[in-house]
Structure 1
Amino acid sequence: MTKTFPLSGQSVAINLQRKIFQKPLASLSLITLIIIVLSVVFGPIFYRVPIDQIDFSQTAVPPSWQHPLGTNDLGQDQLARLLIGGRISLAVGLSAMAVSLTLGTLIGAIAGYFGGWWDVILMRITDLFLALPQLPLVLLVVYLFREPVTRATSPEKGIFILVVLLIGLLNWMSVARLVRGNILRLREMEFVKAAIAMGAGSNHIIWRHLLPNVLNLIIVAASLAVGNAIITESTLSFLGLGFPPDVPTWGQMLYTAKDYLETAPLMAVFPGLAIFITVLSVNYLGDGIGIKNS
């Protein structure tokens, strides 16, 4: 019979490192993500081309020494906009992931550990959210509340908050079910019963003994949540319901390029590749961590 022991933060980190570096695809994905993050964080510091500089004599030109990724329909440098847009797209993905992960982990832990009516009520709420058509609902809510939220704050901040909260609040259910199922199993283990016998409180048992043992699975769910959030934000921007046109997210760049697919296809290729490579790397990294997870 397989035994499960409480894991420390250090043992979880060692376990994750072993899983990543034993799998070439996961290692390559991690390296790719590090390069992407470093590029969007530090790239604009060294590549100081203004993203709002308009030059109608250089509209939709192909890549050159002056513009390594070409320009858009207003003559704005695509590389500069891709780097700044990456910051925003990754910020949306990570923030929405944090919302969904926090909510899903809390609900799953409470339902799994306490059981009874807590489990019944929280899982019925989870089923209700799972039944909702997510993308149409996101489109509807953004369409209805975009103007009021942006008037109350600012166009950039308002859309960021609205998109992050919407994506996060509609993607916690799989995390909750994952955490609940594993905690239902773990709470019957000897180390949990020993902690209860020693007088440990529920909060201590959940945070110190149970959640560290499902941390690997939570990280896998987090990777999927980041990818899903980036795709959802890109979809909203591509449909004209995302950030304002002067905010160059990857999805917004695709929205701008859709009218130039025949005359200047590279306008769509580079932001599309950025989304594709980022989401693919995140998902492969999550798969690498999740394989043979105990």
Structure 2
Amino acid sequence: MSQSSVSTAASTPRRRRVKWSADLLLGTVLLGSIVLAVLFAGVLFPAGTDVMDLGARLTPPHFGFPHPLGTDPIGRDVLSRVVYGGRVSLTVGLVSVALSVVIGSVLGLLAGYYQGRLGALIMRLADIQLAFPFILLAITVIAIIGPGLWKLIAVMVVSQWAQYARLVRSQALALRERDYVQAAFALGAGNNRVMFRHIVPNAIGPIVVLSTLNVANNILLESGLTFLGLGVDPQVPSWGGMLADGRTYLQSAWWVSVFPGVAITLTVLGFNLLGDWLRDRLDPQGRS
């Protein structure tokens, strides 16, 4: 083997490590900036989002205050609404995924560990849920019970718990046959100890990766449903609602829709970069 090929082979893992480190850095910077802005929205914009200045309506973006990103059709500051709107998107994304993880992981663990009729029943329910289109479910449920933040979260949890149930079940089936689990049984460990001390910790990696990617997906879903009028209350500032409000002004006042769209893009990009990095760090086979 020539020296050049050896150096190329040796530098490949190094380049891969630098790439994933760059993904982690960029994802952390994007998400950190957005989360900090959302958490301190009340400090940055104490007047809130409903202050109107009809004399400054549709002011274009400019460097400086009071409206660096311009104003909307009724004179409200676009920057403050974008920052406050992040509360809705992050709340929907994080809470819906957290509840889906808890419910799906518990059911998947029971189905994979005990198997039998209980496992078959849980998996048939998961198959039915996965066969039902999310958009159709969301439109049907929200049309009946009406739009709202927690109603939207509930619809997402109902439609996504099955992903985690199937994932955890597959992990439990594989891990239950490992030597260290069989050794724990031989030493007299009970079912609860085996599940929560030996199976659950080893199944966390795939769950974390899927959760990170699903947060980004749920943010997109919330924005899309709110854009269609099926999400949160129109009176609550949200990125999807701002997109809907500004679609009739794209030619004359592009900034009303563009900046909420940029916020969605950067947030989803940050979660996807973090999820990709976690996948490669927590999956040695995929990394090799």
Q: Same fold (TM over 0.5)?
A: yes
**How do 1:190-229 and structure 2 match up within 5 A?**
190-229=179-218
Structure-2 separation of matches of 1:266 and 1:178:
42
Structure 1 residue 93, shift from structure 2 partner: 0.8
**How do 1:121-160 and structure 2 match up within 5 A?**
121-146=121-146, 159-160=148-149
**How do 1:68-83 and structure 2 match up within 5 A?**
68-83=68-83
The equivalent of 2:101 in structure 1 is: 101
Counterpart residue identity of residue 164, structure 2: V
Alignment CA distance shift 1:243-1:207 (3 Å) = same
Structure 1 residue 258, shift from structure 2 partner: 1.2
**How do 1:209-288 and structure 2 match up within 5 A?**
209-288=198-277
Structure 1 residue 21, shift from structure 2 partner: 9.5
1:162 paired residue among 151, 157, 165:
151
How many residue pairs get aligned? The number is 265
Indicate the structure whose relative CO is greater, using CA pairs within 8 Å and at least 6 residues apart: 1
The equivalent of 1:56 in structure 2 is: 54
Structure 1 residue 243, shift from structure 2 partner: 2.0
The answer to whether the 8 Å contact 1:21/1:27 transfers is no
Structure-2 separation of matches of 1:38 and 1:114:
43
The answer to whether the 8 Å contact 1:26/1:288 transfers is yes
Note the aligned Cα RMSD (angstroms).
Answer: 1.8
1:36 aligns with 2:34: yes
The answer to whether the 8 Å contact 2:26/2:273 transfers is no
Counterpart residue identity of residue 116, structure 1: G
Structure-1 separation of matches of 2:74 and 2:48:
13
Structure-1 separation of matches of 2:272 and 2:169:
22
Question: 5+ unaligned residues in a row in structure 1: which ranges?
Answer: 1-18, 148-158
The TM-score normalised by the length of structure 2 is 0.87
The equivalent of 1:85 in structure 2 is: 85
Counterpart residue identity of residue 210, structure 2: A
Alignment CA distance shift 1:20-1:112 (3 Å) = farther
Counterpart residue identity of residue 180, structure 1: R
Counterpart residue identity of residue 214, structure 1: A
Structure-2 separation of matches of 1:92 and 1:116:
35
The answer to whether the 8 Å contact 1:30/1:281 transfers is yes
Counterpart residue identity of residue 21, structure 2: K
Query: Which digits, 9 at most, give the CA deviation of each residue in 1:115-158, with x for residues without a partner?
Result: 122221111111100100111210221111017xxxxxxxxxxx
The TM-score normalised by the length of structure 1 is 0.85
The answer to whether the 8 Å contact 1:20/1:289 transfers is no
Structure-2 separation of matches of 1:58 and 1:205:
65
The equivalent of 2:4 in structure 1 is: none
Query: Which digits, 9 at most, give the CA deviation of each residue in 1:10-31, with x for residues without a partner?
Result: xxxxxxxxx9995321331122
Question: 5+ unaligned residues in a row in structure 2: which ranges?
Answer: 1-16
Structure-1 separation of matches of 2:19 and 2:181:
31
